[in-house]
Structure 1
Amino acid sequence: MLKRMILPLIFGLGGAAILAALGTWQVQRLQWKEGVLAEMRAELGGDPVALPASPQEAVHNYLPVRVTGEIQPGGLHFLTTRKGMGPGYRVVSVFETADGRRVMLDRGFLRETDKSRDLGARDVAVTGNLHWPDEYDESFTPDPDIDRNIWFARQVGPMADYLGTEPLLVVARRTEGGDPAITPWPVDTSGIPNDHLQYAVTWFSLMVLWLGMTAYLLWRIRRRTV
């Protein structure tokens, strides 16, 4: 009887050990991801500074900044939807700072019904964060409809080329003097997936199921040999 049971026992314990290791790895990944998100939240909500002279994505992504100047007329409309507000657009406009720099300002969310609204020039003070969004997928993102001013993904380089600005995007967190029809949509961590807890639960559940199946198999073998 023992000879018939030893192979299923080894196979069962080995499989359970592998599943336990995968679950433990996901717990470690969860702790790492929560640390990263905590650092991001702290950085996003930090004290704003002036625009850096030579911004770099690797160094300045999420940097809190405060700028004053004038929003230029018009802007790019990025098709989207916002929970609780329905369909609409992110509005990215040219922003000319008080010291003469031309950068891009993601002003926030504009309802679809307000698309034709006059978003004329105005002097404002903006508190926000520098951001280089990663939204474009060459296989799935449609080309922009230039005639209707409908875009589908924010890309700092192409946007800057089209608008004639520095390749620098400020995503508004708060705008003093802005158009009330546009609601700021600041950078946050809500869109960053953190599914490691669910993965850990899945692996540990499979481990328990695997051990249960192993115990059942050993019981069946023992019954046949008694």
Structure 2
Amino acid sequence: MRRFRPRLLPTLAVLPALVLLLGLGTWQVQRMHWKTDLIATIEARTSSEPVPLLDLPLDDPAAVAWQRTQAVGRFVTVPGPADHYGVENRDGQLGGRLLGAVTIEDGRTLLVDRGFLADAAAPPPEPAGQVELDAIVRDRSEERQTWFMPDNDPASGRWFWLDLAALGGRFDRPLEPVALQLLPGSPGATPEAAPPKIDLPNNHLGYVITWYGLAFALLLVYLAFSSERTDRTP
């Protein structure tokens, strides 16, 4: 037979650690539900029927992010080199995303991701006149330069992060906080344009098991340490 006899110092040491582990596990449960809902929302928006861009609240990027849309507008033509965003390697070819800008019917201008373009390939010209674009709305309101990103080089058209203020200067007009990622076959899309990748790993369940498992193990060790046999002979 054993009897539970907690001791002050071990209890004071274990309780905060147990609360911390349980709190981390609960936080990961909440993150898991949030990520699951987010992925479901993105999949629903990208696969839905396109919504006219003029019907979307572009000043609320989170509410319209990943929504498939159709936009009517005109490409903005500017002198100088073509603008490329990021660095990608596709089928052994190094390149980036070809950027443009479109002014829509109500006068607002949005940045446009026209698709992948190899560095050695000549950029296709912007379509002339008014066109109807098939695209996915992307939230670009939180774009910031991180410590490992090189500086943008607007003079050569190389953009490693989307500085909307500087890009607005490049296209000589302010840009909305969202951009359009053109779908294959849309006017202005490169031949290598592809639907956006939804790459949001949802591995929070593993963290839930880890934190709750550590909490359970700590509790077992504490209970074993704080119990003593009652059938001992003097």
TM tier, smaller? 0.7 to 0.9
Say whether 1:67 aligns with 2:71: yes
Q: Measure how far apart 1:32 and its partner are.
A: 2.9
Aligned residue pairs, count: 219
In the alignment, what sits opposite 1:43?
A: 45
Give, in angstroms, the shift of residue 93 of structure 1.
Answer: 1.1
Question: Structure 1 residues 7, 41: CA separation in 2 closer, same or farther (over 3 Å shift)?
Answer: same
CA distance in 2, matches of 1:195, 1:129: 26
Question: Taking structure 1 as reference, are residues 147 and 61 closer, same or farther at Cα in structure 2, changes over 3 Å only?
Answer: same
Question: Quick check: 2:32–2:202 contact (8 Å CA) kept in 1?
Answer: yes
Deviating 4+ runs (over 4 angstroms): 2-5, 8-13, 15-18, 68-74, 82-86, 96-102, 177-180
Where in structure 2 are the equivalents of 1:48-127 lying within 5 Å? 48-52=50-54, 55-58=58-61, 59-68=63-72, 71=75, 75-81=82-88, 87-95=94-102, 102-114=109-121, 117-122=122-127, 125-127=132-134
Superposed counterparts of 1:53-202, under 5 Å: 55-58=58-61, 59-68=63-72, 71=75, 75-81=82-88, 87-95=94-102, 102-114=109-121, 117-122=122-127, 125-133=132-140, 134-137=142-145, 139-168=147-176, 169-178=179-188, 180-186=190-196, 189-190=198-199, 192=200, 194-202=202-210
- Give, as a single letter, the amino acid of the residue that structure 1 aligns with 2:151: D
Contact 2:184 2:195 in 1 (8 A): no
SS at match of 2:21: helix
SS at match of 2:156: coil
RMSD of the alignment, in Å? 3.8
What do the CA deviations read for 1:147-178 (whole angstroms, capped 9, x no partner)? 33211112333322221245132111233355
Q: Distance in 2 between matches of 1:170 and 1:145?
A: 22
2:36 to 10, 15, 34: 34
Taking structure 2 as the reference length, the TM-score comes to: 0.70
- Compare 98-107 and 75-84 and name the one that shifted more: 98-107
Percent identity over the alignment? 22
Whether 2:213 is the aligned partner of 1:205: answer yes
Which protein is richer in helix relative to its size? 1
User: With structure 1 as the length reference, what TM-score do the two structures score?
Assistant: 0.72
Question: Measured at CA, do residues 52 and 42 of structure 1 come closer, stay the same or move farther in structure 2, by a change above 3 Å?
Answer: same
Q: Distance in 2 between matches of 1:83 and 1:213?
A: 52
**Aligned residues of 1:46 and 1:64 also touching (Cα < 8 A):** yes
In 2: Cα distance, 1:149 partner to 1:34 partner: 37
| Alpha-carbon distance in 2 for matches of 1:100, 1:18 | 53
Q: Could you tell me how far 1:101 is from its partner in structure 2? A: 6.3
Query: How has the CA–CA distance of structure 1 residues 118 and 170 changed in structure 2, closer, same or farther, with 3 Å as cutoff?
Result: closer
